[in-house]
Amino acid sequence: MKRARLIALALTAWLGVGTQAASAADEGAFLFGDWGGARTRLADSGVTFDFGYVSEAAHNFSGGERHLTRNTDQWKLGTAFDLDKLVGWHGATFQIYLTDRNGRNLGADAGIGNNQLIQEVYGRGQTWHLTVFALDQKWLDDALDLRVGRLPVGEDIASFSCDFQNLTFCGAQPGNIVGDYWVNWPTSQWAARLKVRTSAETFVQIAAYQLNPDYVDDDYARHEGLTLDNPGTKGWLLPLELGWTPERNGLPGSYKAGVWYNTEGGSDLFSDVNHEPRAITGDAPLQRDSRYGAYITFQQQLTGSAGAEGWTAFFNATKADDETSATDRQISLGGEYHQPFGRVRDFIGVALGATHANGRQADYQRLYNAAHPENAQLVRDGDEYVCEVFYSFAPLPSIQLRPNLQYIHNPGGTDLDDAFVLGLKTVIAF
């Protein structure tokens, strides 16, 4: 029965899953073109597709225990159904995305000790995932937007682009530091998100995401990654976000600030059930009733023409609670310059970031190491600093080749050797 559900879900995705429509004018945007006009005809009738591939290769010239080359990749199969065009259901769209991840993690294999992934597309189980299975319903000229189904948190909340290869600069930032319960792409959980546009430039959105550790378990992903099974609710992740999308001298900006609350709670990093140092007592950790945090994510085009050539700058900052979060904050800033040298599809990126290892976890580890020297482990107490620069070259509209250089100082917030990495991110739209 389970296999039948998997086959049916996969066939549904292939027969109709995405967010982009093709036309004769933009046929070059897809490697396989407009399928002789079929893609445009399907889009006109309400079915659009989003098929893509990303690979990320990386080699560490310094740092780590070994100098290695590793590659990881992801296949994406997506379809969107405009239910207004298909069945007359006004304002409704249904989306399905399946993803398949494969490959190796350079940071782990080379023993670099980094906190943030050098290849952001690695992780969450190298297998198939049901990434999106959701209905989006809009009312009142799109002023009210409800989305329900299986969703990654970062799809809607604290959303940010993923042009860079290092995870420090990719996707919804809270998921980079509290990823044990804030679940970004490609993993999903049952959820509902309500967005209200309060003016032409402002909005507020609130959401509820089911929490269960199975969703972020690799073994669960390998066996249940394509099912709609509900593993049970341990709690809820409840984010609230305020957004402002102004224009500055005709140039677009996006400014978002949010908070979140986790009702499941978690284990204290330092204290035991009696509020004593658990590294010494060996007793069970104190259970906190909640986990929480806050974030901001800003983007603003500074020069050039709106949505075209010029510099766009960004700044992201996230802070999680000190009691339960081994990684408690992250800051990143940078920018992208589009259409350099008159090449309309090329762009350049540069970014700096810092990810902080919580001092409470470090204090626990020091006490534990002193009491159990035979099992001593590395103490992570400080910031991991990352710099990345890239050039994105588009030999065809459907292909982006993005060589990048990454420098990692104090990997994992330790005094491990710095790492210098050469990477190549390849993005293909089919």
Q: What is the CATH number of the domain that holds 177?
A: 2.40.160.180
Q: Report yes or no: 334 and 349 within 8 Å, Cβ to Cβ.
A: yes
Is residue 282 exposed (0-12), middle (13-18) or buried (19+ Cβ within 10 Å)?
exposed
Question: What residues form DSSP beta bridges with 399?
Answer: 396, 428
Residue 14 confidence (pLDDT) above 70: no
Is residue 391 exposed (0-12), middle (13-18) or buried (19+ Cβ within 10 Å)?
middle
Determine the structural domain holding residue 111 and report its residue range: 2-429
Q: What is the average per-residue pLDDT within 61-84? A: 98
Q: What is the average per-residue pLDDT within 398-416? A: 97
Distances (CA, A) of 78 to 240, 282, 350, 398: 27, 48, 30, 16
Residue 339 confidence (pLDDT) above 60: yes
Residue 175 confidence (pLDDT) above 90: yes
Q: What percent helix, strand, coil does the chain show, rounded to 5? A: 20, 45, 35
The pLDDT value recorded for residue 26 is 57
The pLDDT value recorded for residue 413 is 95
Total domains in the chain come to 1
State which H helix or E strand residue 53 sits in: strand 47-62
Residue 415 confidence (pLDDT) above 80: yes
Can you give the pTM of this predicted structure?
0.91
Question: What residues form DSSP beta bridges with 355?
Answer: 330, 384
If you average pLDDT over every residue of the chain, what do you get? 92
